[in-house]
Amino acid sequence: MEDLKSLLDRQAERYENPGFISNDPVQVPHSFGQRADIEIAGLFAAVFSWGQRKSIIRKSLELMALMDHAPHDFVLHHTERDLKRFSYFAHRTFQTDDLLYFIHFLKHHFAHFSSLEDAFNPAPGKKIKDAETALTHFHRYFFSLDDAPQRTRKHVATPERHSACKRLNMYLRWMVRPAAKGVDFGLWKSLSPAQLICPLDVHAGRIARQLGLLGRKANDWKAALELTEVLRSFDPDDPVKYDYALFNMGWGGS
């Protein structure tokens, strides 16, 4: 296990640096300097994060352009006429109706709060119990508006449906982990890095099983918890830093 920890430490150190950004969807929120813009851009980039990374980045940047490169101002002040520009926007199965609901939700939220951090917190202003609580609350809150489309639910995962919640765990990693190394942002303080859950997808899961870090066969919420618990034994304060190692090893890094 010491050798394995050393390997993962080296890989995490190798990839958690600004050079990582250019080929990763995290570059999208890095295009902005204001907190709310970073949060909104990051949410869309995370939700779009399935399939080829080039396509994810391209469609995320296309959406930011359609929002006049000012997503927070756009969601708050757009008109019905402004929404027509999204008539042909799609990313894989994420269609115009999904996007319009996201914009509707964001307008509703930012009319009452200054940060998306509060959308993940059942008691804004207080510490969140754990990442599972944050993700569960976000899903319930996100779909609490009267006109929430049923089809959009497949784009926002929740532990209540046993999903690994890979994309939203990645989003929490971006928002919560410190910005010292130039990749994550460290904007949110109601969760600590120690509470984060490792983003788990087919690539990270394959490497984790090859390394003996994960025994569960399904890539579900229980598997994400199991993997994170093992990584926590390597670094109790920041287990998700190893996401960089697993992700890049899963895509052929060495």
Q: What is the pTM of this model?
A: 0.96
Residue 78: Cβ-neighbour burial (10 angstroms; 0-12, 13-18, 19+): middle
Contact 229, 164 (CB under 8 A): no
Compute CA 248 distance to the chain's CA centroid, rounded to the nearest angstrom.
17
Q: Using one digit for the tens of pLDDT, what is the confidence trace for 149-160?
A: 999 999 999 999
Q: Using one digit for the tens of pLDDT, what is the confidence trace for 212-242?
A: 999 999 999 999 999 999 999 999 999 999 9
Instruction: Tell me the pLDDT band of 254, cut-offs 50, 70 and 90.
Output: very low
d(CA 105, CA 146): 11
Instruction: Tell me the pLDDT band of 251, cut-offs 50, 70 and 90.
Output: low
C-beta neighbour count of 90 within 10 angstroms: 12
Higher pLDDT, 1 or 36: 36
pLDDT mean over 74-96: 97
> Which position has the token pair 């003996």?
212
